[in-house]
Structure 1
Amino acid sequence: MTGERLALPERTGASCLIVVARAGDAAEYDRVLDVLIDVGIRSVELTLTTPRTIERLPELVDRYDGALDLGVGTVTDTEQLRRAVLAGARYIVTPVSSTDLVHAAVESGTPIIPGGLTPSELFASWSAGASAVKVFPATQVGPAYVKDLRGPFPDIEVVPSGGVDLAGAVRWLDAGAAAISVGGPLLGDAFSGGDLAALRERAVAFVDVVAEHA
């Protein structure tokens, strides 16, 4: 490993739950984030596939400072990473295994969770200094994969992402995942005009389950 491994942000590590927010536009974030914070969500990954995410990030960081870790996800190159860090991202998430991205994040002092699926991909990111590794898509392997990885890599920290539902969250955490990354099963249609009361119910269910099993 090159240099010291950065810990995940405190709220993210303590809550063991990252909500992946993928909206039609960054203007849609606020109404959803307000609900998530109110029910106890403490870490949200804003995706670069949502237009204007970087532009709005400083404002959102200021608005939710002290209540929420805002990370930036779907980062695939060092320029995106640089802009996200400068805008105030508390952590970086990638869908790919790239030691260049890991090194750049570590050098900037920003925790990073790079994606991968195979043992070689995940270990390359972990040994380069990743704070945790994102198993993506998690539905392709299942919770037992945590134990399989920890055979040869006993210290590796795993965050499953992609299709993790409420029941899956329990199984992954019981298997030893450091946190779970959840999108559609929690957010549902919230970013397309869906009922915020229904969003609240789903979010509460995830918060309660994770609190019991983390």
Structure 2
Amino acid sequence: MNLRAALTAHRLIAIVRGDDPEAALSTVLALAAEGIELIEVSLSGKDALTVIERARQALGPDRPLGAGTVLTADDAHAARRAGADFTVTPALGEGVRVARELGMPVLAGVLTPTEIVAARTYDATALKIFPAAEAGGPAYLKALRGPFPHELFVPVGGVDEAAARAYLAAGATAVGVGSPLVGDAADGGSVSALRERARKFLGAVRDVTP
């Protein structure tokens, strides 16, 4: 898949992490049904690889599906076998390198200018600013874009609807959203409430002119 083009076009990644595999799968499918094109299933969730396998079967081969919290070479290989076609990491390391060797695009976690430069040696596809809120929010992102105007930045961590708009206005390519969007749905919470939140977030990212 072309992750750079997908991030630019869709501007939102939903992050699914839960302790109930059935609920996590239902969450992925509900998000997809509401029109969220980029969905990441975190490997830190219970039976996450099985969730990815089943989601891939349900969604078909052409719908983008990511594996998150990819830390190691084994994680990258397992994500590929499960059917993920892109990976997301919280930091730079073996997970990034091996996923790229396997031909998978990677949204690689960085925080500092030094890490942004280092990400180029890993051939990262795009850069996840994490934890974005703790780093300084939209103002920090705007400052990073000064020396790095051509990087694709995706803030993750503490991104609610208002923050999503602010990050995109500050120059983010997309935003990654976990609990403010998913809530408790991946642990068995309300799917109808999840769907409502999905519609609101889609509206929020569409409101901001690129």
Q: When the two structures are superposed, what TM-score results if normalisation uses the length of structure 1?
A: 0.89
User: Offset of 1:25 from its aligned partner?
Assistant: 3.3
Contact 1:44 1:69 in 2 (8 A): yes
* 1:87 and 2:86 correspond: no
* 1:182 and 2:177 correspond: yes
User: Offset of 1:172 from its aligned partner?
Assistant: 0.5
- Give the 3-state SS of the residue equivalent to 2:137 in structure 1: coil
Instruction: Please point out which of 106, 109, 125 is paired with 1:131.
Output: 125
Structure 1 residues 36 and 212, CA gap change in structure 2 (3 angstroms): same
Letter in 2 for 1:198: A
Structure 2: unaligned runs, 5 residues or longer: none
Partner residue, 1:58: 53
Partner residue, 2:141: 146
- Give the 3-state SS of the residue equivalent to 1:153 in structure 2: coil
Partner residue, 2:165: 170
- What number of residue pairs does the alignment pair up? 208
Contact 1:12 1:69 in 2 (8 A): no
Partner residue, 2:99: 105
Structure 1 residues 34 and 83, CA gap change in structure 2 (3 angstroms): closer
Letter in 1 for 2:71: T
Structure 1 residues 144 and 188, CA gap change in structure 2 (3 angstroms): same
Structure 1 residues 123 and 7, CA gap change in structure 2 (3 angstroms): farther
User: Offset of 1:126 from its aligned partner?
Assistant: 3.5
Letter in 2 for 1:49: S
Q: What do you get for the CA RMSD once the two structures are aligned?
A: 1.9
Partner residue, 1:3: none
Letter in 1 for 2:127: V
Letter in 1 for 2:44: T
Structure 1 residues 68 and 193, CA gap change in structure 2 (3 angstroms): same
User: Offset of 1:179 from its aligned partner?
Assistant: 0.9
- Cα distance in 2 for residues equivalent to 1:167 and 1:151: 23
User: Offset of 1:14 from its aligned partner?
Assistant: 1.7
- Cα distance in 2 for residues equivalent to 1:49 and 1:18: 17
Paired-residue identity, %: 39
- Cα distance in 2 for residues equivalent to 1:174 and 1:66: 33
Matches within 5 A, 1:41-80: 41-65=36-60, 68-80=63-75
- Cα distance in 2 for residues equivalent to 1:192 and 1:83: 23
Structure 1: unaligned runs, 5 residues or longer: 1-5
* 1:15 and 2:10 correspond: yes
- Cα distance in 1 for residues equivalent to 2:186 and 2:96: 30
Structure 1 residues 29 and 50, CA gap change in structure 2 (3 angstroms): same
Contact 1:57 1:89 in 2 (8 A): yes
Q: When the two structures are superposed, what TM-score results if normalisation uses the length of structure 2?
A: 0.90
Quick check: 142-151 or 157-166, which moved more?
A: 142-151
